């Protein structure tokens, strides 16, 4: 039973108010893309033991999608941020690097 702060309405939301939306910052591959790119986009997912970037929706609240950076081992939440971005904010990445030296997630380290 996690609690995450919705960056839109500011509520500290209980997990029962939220819906999980899987891995964050996927790049969409549509018509014209290669089979390999489409496969990666549809099916290949990170499975980190450590910090993960995820999509959540405040579905039983304000209805907004947002992003969260959360450690899958300790459940520490490093921050939540807007859904309208294709990369994690720089200050959040700095915070994670400081707390977890050697941190790496997809192209971010």
Partner 1 sequence: MSTRLSKGGRLVDTSSTVAFQFNGKTLTGHAGDTLASALLANDQMLVGRSFKYHRPRGIVASGAEEPNALVNLGQNGKFEPNQRATTTELFDGLSATSQNHWPSLEFDVGAVNQYFTPFLTAGFYYKMFMHPRPLWKHVYEPFIRQSAGLGKAPKEKDADRYEHFYAYVDVTVIGGGVAGLQAALAAGEAGAKVLVMEQTAAWGGRAVVDGGTIDGMSAETWVASALARLEEMPNVTLRRRMMGAGVYDHGYLLGYERLTDHAPDQDGPRHRLWRIRTKQIVTATGAIERPISFAGNDIPGVMLASAVRDYAVNYGVAVGKRTVVVTNNDDGYRTAIAMVEAGQEVPAIIDARGQGAGDLGEKARKLGIRVALGMAISKVKGGKRVEGVELCRMEGNGGAILETIKCDAVAMSGGWSPVVHLWSHCGGKLLWDEVENHFKPDATRAPTGADGKPFVLTAGSASGPLGLGDVLADADAAGKMAAEAAGYAPATTPAPAGDARDENQMKPVWMMPANPVYELRMKMWLDYQNDVKVSDVQLAAREGFESVEHTKRYTTLGMATDQGKLSNINGLAVLADSLGEKIPQVGTTTFRPPYTPISMGAIGGAARDDVFQPIRKTPIQQWHEDQGAYMEPVGQWRRPYTFPRGNESHAQAVSREITNTRTNVGLLDASTLGKIIVKGPDAGKFLDLLYTNMMSTLKPGKCRYGLMCNENGFLMDDGVVARLDEETFLVHTTSGGAAHTHAHMEEWLQTEWWDFKVYTADVTEQYAQIAVVGPKARMVLEKLGGMDVSKAALGFMDWTQGKLGGFDARIFRISFSGELSYEIAVPASQGRAFWDALMAAGEEFGMMPYGTECLHVMRAEKGFIMIGDETDGTVIPQDLGLHWAISKKKEDFIGKRGQQRTFLASEERWQLVGLETVDGSVLPDGAYAVVHGHNENGQRNMIGRVTSTYYSPTLGRGIAMGLIKHGPQRMGELVEFGKVDGTTVMAKIVDPVWYDKEGEKQNV
Chain contacts with partner 1 (rule: CB under 8 A):
1-3, 14-15, 21, 28-33, 35, 38, 42, 55, 57, 59, 63-65, 71, 74-77, 83-84, 99
Residue placing its CB nearer to partner 1 in the complex, 62 or 108:
62
Q: What does the alpha-carbon distance between residue 81 and residue 60 come to, in Å, rounded to a whole number?
A: 18
Minimum CB distance to partner 1, residue 97 (Å): 15
Residue placing its CB nearer to partner 1 in the complex, 31 or 101:
31
56 CA to centre of own chain: 7
Minimum CB distance to partner 1, residue 104 (Å): 19
Residue placing its CB nearer to partner 1 in the complex, 56 or 105:
56
Residue 73 is encoded by which pair of tokens?
Answer: 């081992």
21 and 56 Cβ atoms separated by less than 8 Å: yes
Q: What does the alpha-carbon distance between residue 74 and residue 53 come to, in Å, rounded to a whole number?
A: 14
Minimum CB distance to partner 1, residue 40 (Å): 12
Q: What does the alpha-carbon distance between residue 12 and residue 18 come to, in Å, rounded to a whole number?
A: 11
């Amino acid at each position: 039973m996690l609690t995450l702060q919705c960056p839109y309405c500011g509520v500290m939301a209980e997990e029962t108010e939220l819906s999980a939306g899987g891995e964050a910052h996927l790049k969409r591959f549509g018509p014209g893309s290669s089979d390999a790119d489409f496969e990666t986009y549809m099916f290949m997912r990170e499975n980190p033991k450590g910090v993960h970037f995820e999509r959540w929706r405040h579905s039983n609240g304000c209805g907004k999608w947002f992003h969260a950076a959360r450690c899958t081992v300790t459940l520490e939440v490093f921050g939540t941020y807007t859904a309208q971005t294709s990369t994690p904010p720089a200050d959040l990445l700095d915070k994670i690097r400081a707390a977890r030296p050697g941190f790496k997630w997809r192209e971010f380290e």
